[in-house]
Structure 1
Amino acid sequence: MTTTGKASSANSAGAVPRPGATRNLVVATIGFTVNFWAWALLGPLGPGVKERLGLSFAAQSLLVAVPVIVGSLGRVPVGALTDRYGARIMFPLLSLATIVPVLTLTVVDSYPALIATGFFLGLGGTTFAIGVPLISGWYPPARKGFALGVFGIGTGGTAIANFTTVRLADTYGENTPFLLVAAILAGYAVLAFLLLRDPPGRTAPAGSALARTAEVSRLTVTWQLCFLYAVGFGGFVAFSVYLPAYLRTAYELSANDAALRTAGFVVLAVAARPVGGWLSDRLHPVPVLVWCFGGTAVFAIVQAFQPPLMPVATIALLAMAALLGAASGAVFALVGRVAPADKVGTVTGVVGAAGGLGGFVPPLIMGWVYGIEGSYTIGLMLLSDVALAAAVYTAVKMSRVDKKSNLVADTAPRRSLQA
C-alpha cells in the first residue's frame, strides 16, 4: 500500500518523462537546427553579395538583418498558432514553407529581390516558438529545463551555415547550399509528420491567435521574461554578430582568425545552453540566472579595459559565451515554471521575439559609441550595467513570481477536491 502510494506520488509529481518524450525531443531539435541553418544562409554570403552588387555596409547589414528580424517577430504569431494547431502540424508546415525562399535564392540576384526573399527566409527562425511548447508538454518540471536546453542546441544551425555555405558554393557551385538545405527541409517535413506527436491531453485554446497574443501581453510575467531573455540570448546574438568586427578592430586580427574565434564563441554558448537548463532543474532557474548575469557583468568589465588577447581577453569572452548560453537555457526553464500551461506557445513566441530583437541593439550601440569615442570601453561597461541589473531583478522579483506560481499550482488540486 505504501509502495503504491509512493509510486503514485512520484508519478503525479512528474518525475519521469512520458513515453515518447525523447523521440519528440530529438525530432524537434533536428527540425530546429535545419530551419535555423536555412534562416542563416544569407549571413555568410553577405560579403560576396556586397562586392558583386557594390553595396554599402549599411545595405549589406540590412540584407543580413531582415531574416533575423522577421524570424524574431514572426515567433509571436507562430507561437500562438502552435498553441492552437499543435507542433505536429506547424513544424512540417513551416519547414515546407521555408523551402520556397531557399529555392528562390537560386534565381534572384538583384538587391530588392534578395531583400524580399530574406523576408520570407525569416520563417525558418520562427520554429523556436513551435518546439518550446511541444517539449514543455512532454517533459515534467524536474526534467523540463534540461530538455529545453537540448532543444536550444538547434541554434547551432547558424554555425553550420557559417561553416558550410561559402565552402559548398565555392566547391560545388553557387546554388549547392540552397538545393541541399531545401532537400533536407523537405525530408525533415516528412519525418516530422510521421514521428512528431503533440503531448497527450493537449487542448486547443479558444479564441484567435491575435486575441491570445493580446492576452499574454497583459501578463506581467511575459514582459519580465522578455527582459531576461533579451539580455541572455540577445547578448549571445549581439556577440555572434559583432564579435568579428570587434576582434578585427580592437586586436587587428585577420578576417579568418576573427571568424574562427567567433565560431568558437558560438559553439561554446550553444553547448552551455542545456547545461543552464540542467542546473535549473537541480538548483532552480533563479539562482542560475543570478550567477550567469552577475558573471557576465564581471567579465564585461574586464573586457572593457581591452586586456591582452591571450589569455585574458580570450578567457573573458569565452566565459561570457558560456554564461550567456547557460542563461538562455535557464530563462526557458523559468518559462516552463511560471507561464500558464495553455499559453506556453504564445508566451514563448513573445519572449523569443524579445531575445532575437535584443541582439540587435548592442551592436548598434557599440558601433555608435566607437564612432564617437574611438573605443569600445563605454559599450562594454553598458553591457555590464544591463547584466548586473538583470541579476538584481532576477534575485528580487522572479523568485517571488515563481513562488506565487507554485502556490497557485499547489492549491488548484485541493480546490477541485473540495468542490
Structure 2
Amino acid sequence: MKELTSTKATKLDLLNFKSLPTRTFWITSIAFFTCFFAWFGIVPFMPDVVKDLGLTPTQKWNSIILAVSGTVFARLLIGKLCDKYGPRLCYTYLLILGAIPVILLGFVQTPLQFLVCRLFIGFIGASFVITQFHTSIMFAPNIVGTANATSAGWGNLGGGANRLGMPLIAAAVVSFGILEEIAWRYSMVIAGVICFSMGIIYFYFTQDTPEGNYKDLKKEGKMPNLKKDEVPFLDTLKDYRVWILFLVYAACFGIELTVYGTMDDYLQNRFGLNRSTAGNLVLSFALMNIFARTLGGFFGDLFGKLKGLRGRVIFLALIMAIEGLMLSIFSLTSSLVIGMIFLIAFSLTVQMAEGATFSVVPFINKKAIGSISGIVGAGGNVGAFLAAMLLKSKSAVAESAAIAANSELGQQAIKAAQTTASATAVSSGYFIIGGCIITAAALSLTIKFATSEEKRGDIGQMTLSTVEK
C-alpha cells in the first residue's frame, strides 16, 4: 500500500492559468454565473410576461416562490452525486439538462406552462453546490474559504448581470426584426443555448481532482477520501452542525434571494422611486458580490488562522448578527438617504455571511463535503421560500384590507392605499426576518469541533491510497 499526497493550491493565483486549480476556479465560476444568469433571466421581462400570458398577481408571486423551491430538492441530491461521481460529470449534466426548461420557457403559451418551467429552471440553482465542492477539492485549508467565497460571489453576479445582459440580448433580437413584445422569448432560448454550451466546455476542460477524474482514479485503484462507503448519508444527516449551517445559510443566502426579488417594488412603494432607479439600486446590491462574499471567506480564513475552527464560527456568528441588525433598522427607516446606508450595510454583511458559512462547511466532515454542501445549500432556498411566503401573506392581507377600506374613494385613492399598505407590510416582514437572522447567529455559536477535528483541520493534504499489484 502506497500513499500519495494531494497537491491542492495554497494560494488563489487568478492569473496562473497553467495551474489546474486556477483553471477550475475560473471555469466553475463562469458556469455558476451562467446558471444564475439563466435562473433569473426572466426577471427583467416580467412586465412583458404578465401582459403576454395574462398572469395574475398571485401567479406572479407563485412563480417567484417556485423558482427558489425547485432548487431545494436539486441541491439535496446533487451533493451526494458529487461525492459519488465527481463534480465534472455532475456539472456537465446539470448544465445540459438545465438548459431544456430555460429554452422551453421561450415557447410557453399558458400561465401553468410558465410556472412549471420556472420550477424546473430552479434546479440549475444546484450549480452552487458543485461550485463549492469543486473549489473545496482544489484548494488547501488556508485559502479554501476565500476560494469558495470568491467563486460563489462571482457566480452570484449572474443574478444581477441579467438585469443588464438580458435586455441587451433582447435589443439585439429586436434589431433582427423580431417584435419587441416577444423578444423575451428569444432571449430565454439564447440563455438556454449558452447553458448547454457551457456544459460541453465543463466536460472537456475540467478535472475532478488535482490527481485526475474519479473514473480514472477508480480504474487505477486510487480513491480520494470522498468514498461512498466511508460516510453514509444517514450519518451526515445525524450531525447537528450540518443542520445549524442549514439554518444559517437560510438566514443569509435565502434572505438575499428574497430581498433581491422584492426590493424593487418596496423601494418604489416606500420611497416613491421610479422603476428604473429602483432597479439600478437593486442591481448595485447584487454587484457587491464582486467583493463582499470574498471578504466573508477571507475573514473566515483569517479567524481560522488566529483561533482555529472555532474562530471561523465566531466570525460567522458576528457577521450574521450585524446582518440581521442592519435589515431590521433598514425596515424602520422612512428616509431614503438613511435607508440606503443601512441597505448597503445589509448587502455587505449578508454576502459576507454567505462567504463565512462556506469557510466553515469544508471542515465539518472532509469525507462528505458534497453531501454537506448540498444540505447547507438547500437551506438557502428553504429560507428564501419561507421569507417569500411571509412577505406574500402579510402583503396580501394588508392590500386586501386597504382595497376594502377605500373601495368608495375611487381608483386613485385605492391605488395609493394599496401601495402604502404593501410597503408597511413588507417593512414589518423585513423587521421580523432581521430578528430571525440574529437568532440564527446565536444558534451558530453552538457549532463545536472536537480536539481531534481541530488537529485534522488540514483537509488540504488529502491522502490517496494506491494498491500495488
By how many angstroms is 1:409 displaced? 5.5
Summarize the Cα distance change of 1:12–1:130 in structure 2 as closer, same or farther, 3 Å threshold. closer
**CA distance in 2 between partners of 1:43 and 1:215 (Å):** 39
Task: Give the 3-state SS of the residue equivalent to 1:29 in structure 2.
Answer: helix
**Does the CA-based 8 Å contact 1:272-1:322 persist in structure 2?**
yes
**CA distance in 2 between partners of 1:404 and 1:386 (Å):** 33
Instruction: Map 1:362-377; keep pairs closer than 5 Å.
Output: 362-370=387-395, 371-372=397-398, 374=421, 375=424, 376-377=426-427
**CA distance in 1 between partners of 2:392 and 2:270 (Å):** 12
> Which is worse superposed, 254-263 or 142-151?
254-263
**Does the CA-based 8 Å contact 2:292-2:348 persist in structure 1?**
yes
**CA distance in 1 between partners of 2:268 and 2:318 (Å):** 30
Task: Give the 3-state SS of the residue equivalent to 2:224 in structure 1.
Answer: coil
Q: TM-score, normalised by structure 2?
A: 0.77
**Does the CA-based 8 Å contact 1:39-1:68 persist in structure 2?**
no
**Does the CA-based 8 Å contact 1:46-1:64 persist in structure 2?**
no
> Which is worse superposed, 328-337 or 98-107?
98-107
**Does the CA-based 8 Å contact 2:156-2:289 persist in structure 1?**
no
**CA distance in 2 between partners of 1:134 and 1:347 (Å):** 13
Summarize the Cα distance change of 1:145–1:118 in structure 2 as closer, same or farther, 3 Å threshold. same
Instruction: Map 1:37-48; keep pairs closer than 5 Å.
Output: 37-48=37-48
Task: Give the 3-state SS of the residue equivalent to 1:359 in structure 2.
Answer: helix
**CA distance in 2 between partners of 1:55 and 1:178 (Å):** 18
Equivalent residue for 2:371, pick from 346, 350, 361: 346
Structure 1 spans left out of the alignment, 5+ residues: 1-10, 414-419
Q: Does 1:27 align with 2:27?
A: yes
**CA distance in 2 between partners of 1:306 and 1:403 (Å):** 46
Identity among equivalent positions (%) equals: 20
Q: Which amino acid aligns with 1:327?
A: A
By how many angstroms is 1:85 displaced? 0.4
**CA distance in 1 between partners of 2:254 and 2:119 (Å):** 20
> Which is worse superposed, 364-373 or 160-169?
364-373
Query: Deviations along 1:57-107, whole A, 9 cap, x unmatched?
Result: 111122233232112321111111111100111111111112222222232
Q: Partner of 1:103 in structure 2?
A: 103
Equivalent residue for 1:250, pick from 258, 270, 289: 270
By how many angstroms is 1:377 displaced? 4.8
Equivalent residue for 1:260, pick from 280, 283, 290: 280
By how many angstroms is 1:390 displaced? 2.5
Query: Deviations along 1:298-352, whole A, 9 cap, x unmatched?
Result: 3234223224101x110100100000000000001100122x1221111111111
Q: Partner of 2:116 in structure 1?
A: 116
**Does the CA-based 8 Å contact 2:244-2:443 persist in structure 1?**
no
Equivalent residue for 1:288, pick from 315, 329, 354: 315
Q: Which amino acid aligns with 1:218?
A: K
Q: Partner of 2:72 in structure 1?
A: 72
Instruction: Map 1:161-172; keep pairs closer than 5 Å.
Output: 161-172=162-173
> Which is worse superposed, 169-178 or 86-95?
169-178
Equivalent residue for 1:300, pick from 304, 327, 345: 327
**CA distance in 2 between partners of 1:12 and 1:43 (Å):** 42
By how many angstroms is 1:366 displaced? 3.3
Q: Which amino acid aligns with 2:384?
A: G
**Does the CA-based 8 Å contact 2:9-2:138 persist in structure 1?**
no
Query: Deviations along 1:277-298, whole A, 9 cap, x unmatched?
Result: 0111112322322331222233
Superposition RMSD in Å: 2.8
Q: Does 1:355 align with 2:356?
A: no
**CA distance in 2 between partners of 1:13 and 1:64 (Å):** 39
**CA distance in 1 between partners of 2:318 and 2:275 (Å):** 33
Task: Give the 3-state SS of the residue equivalent to 2:449 in structure 1.
Answer: helix
Q: Partner of 1:56 in structure 2?
A: 56
Summarize the Cα distance change of 1:13–1:21 in structure 2 as closer, same or farther, 3 Å threshold. closer
> Which is worse superposed, 168-177 or 139-148?
168-177
Q: Which has the larger radius of gyration?
A: 2
Summarize the Cα distance change of 1:404–1:363 in structure 2 as closer, same or farther, 3 Å threshold. farther
Instruction: Map 1:189-204; keep pairs closer than 5 Å.
Output: 189-199=199-209, 200=211, 202=224
Structure 2 spans left out of the alignment, 5+ residues: 1-5, 14-18, 212-222, 305-311, 402-420, 462-469
By how many angstroms is 1:25 displaced? 0.8
**CA distance in 2 between partners of 1:377 and 1:35 (Å):** 31
By how many angstroms is 1:119 displaced? 2.8
**Does the CA-based 8 Å contact 1:268-1:318 persist in structure 2?**
no
**CA distance in 1 between partners of 2:142 and 2:301 (Å):** 5
Q: Which amino acid aligns with 2:155?
A: G
**Does the CA-based 8 Å contact 1:230-1:357 persist in structure 2?**
yes
**Does the CA-based 8 Å contact 1:293-1:323 persist in structure 2?**
yes
Task: Give the 3-state SS of the residue equivalent to 2:241 in structure 1.
Answer: helix
**Does the CA-based 8 Å contact 1:299-1:319 persist in structure 2?**
yes
Structure number having the greater helix percentage: 1
By how many angstroms is 1:227 displaced? 1.0
Task: Give the 3-state SS of the residue equivalent to 1:105 in structure 2.
Answer: helix
**CA distance in 1 between partners of 2:392 and 2:92 (Å):** 39
**Does the CA-based 8 Å contact 1:269-1:324 persist in structure 2?**
no
By how many angstroms is 1:13 displaced? 11
> Which is worse superposed, 122-131 or 359-368?
359-368
Summarize the Cα distance change of 1:117–1:304 in structure 2 as closer, same or farther, 3 Å threshold. closer
Q: How many residues align?
A: 396
**CA distance in 1 between partners of 2:109 and 2:38 (Å):** 18
Q: Partner of 2:453 in structure 1?
A: 405
By how many angstroms is 1:171 displaced? 4.4
Q: Partner of 2:407 in structure 1?
A: none
**CA distance in 2 between partners of 1:13 and 1:86 (Å):** 16
**CA distance in 2 between partners of 1:61 and 1:113 (Å):** 15
> Which is worse superposed, 177-186 or 269-278?
177-186
Equivalent residue for 2:363, pick from 334, 337, 355: 337
Q: Does 1:218 align with 2:218?
A: no
Q: Which amino acid aligns with 1:136?
A: S
Summarize the Cα distance change of 1:140–1:287 in structure 2 as closer, same or farther, 3 Å threshold. same
**Does the CA-based 8 Å contact 2:104-2:189 persist in structure 1?**
no
Q: Which amino acid aligns with 1:389?
A: T
Summarize the Cα distance change of 1:300–1:66 in structure 2 as closer, same or farther, 3 Å threshold. closer
Q: TM-score, normalised by structure 1?
A: 0.86
By how many angstroms is 1:403 displaced? 5.5
**CA distance in 1 between partners of 2:290 and 2:379 (Å):** 18
